[in-house]
Amino acid sequence: MSLRLGDTAPNFQQQSSEGPIDLYEYLGEHWGILFSHPADYTPVCTTELGYTAKLHDEFAKRDVKAIALSVDDVESHQGWIKDINETQATTVNFPILADKDRKVSELYGFLHPNASETTTVRSLVIIDPNKKVRLIITYPASTGRNFNEILRVIDSLQLTDHYKVATPANWQQGDDVVIVPSLKDEDELKQRFPKGYTAVKPYLRLTPQPNLD
């Protein structure tokens, strides 16, 4: 399956390190990140899962629930989690899907035959509360994810869902944002952006981040 932005994230039922998982029930009305790993007991994945556990409070602030995936079974996951907790000085606090039959991997397009016939690529999908796919990132197996970028994208998505703005290159929380070009009415601009804005060009208008005091 070729998953694209704006698609409805496919639901599934699969075993995990925390018991049976139904994706839609697990996420409820929360945001979600689903990310795949080539296999258990791999070095880069060990650091990634440890770092995800350490980000629990950051994800919770953003109403995000994490769920990982590896193609090994639950017994293997349980042993690997012990290693992750020990080596990364943390406690894994989210489920890891046991996708031994590769049902979820195939459903989400995590298997790339030209990269590997048997293991998943390092993919990540952000799913919003309406179960829509909002971001897809795929890394080669040799490159660990940048979780600061993932948090940044979640911040951008949640901001731009509620305000008629977009976030410019390298935007971080607190930086100025861009007013969407379709918004042209001056009265509406004043109402929506009481802090004012700077028109660098007619199509490039910067305004302070609207959800900050």
Whether 197 maps to a domain, the answer reads: yes
45 is catalytic: yes
Task: Provide the domain limits for residue 116.
Answer: 13-146
C-alpha neighbours within 13 Å on the C-beta side of residue 175: 14
- Quote the number of domains for the chain: 2
Q: Are residues 123 and 61 in the same domain?
A: yes
CA trace torsion 200, 163, 6, 175 (10° rounding): 50
Point out the catalytic residue in the list 21, 27, 45, 127: 45
Q: Are residues 125 and 180 in the same domain?
A: no
Question: For residue 143, what are its two tokens?
Answer: 């490159």
Q: Are residues 174 and 132 in the same domain?
A: no
Q: Are residues 111 and 51 in the same domain?
A: yes
Q: Are residues 75 and 108 in the same domain?
A: yes
List the chain pLDDT tens, one digit each, 213 residues: 578 999 999 999 999 999 999 999 999 999 999 999 888 999 999 999 999 999 999 999 999 999 999 999 999 999 999 999 999 999 999 999 999 999 999 899 887 665 454 455 688 999 999 999 999 999 887 889 999 999 999 999 999 999 999 999 999 999 999 999 999 999 999 999 999 999 999 999 999 999 997
Q: Are residues 122 and 47 in the same domain?
A: yes
Strands (E), 60-207: 64-70, 96-98, 122-127, 133-139, 165-166, 177-179, 198-201, 204-207
Helix locations, 94-175, DSSP H: 103-107, 147-162
pLDDT of amino acid 119: 56
What's 23's domain CATH number? 3.40.30.10
pLDDT of amino acid 38: 84
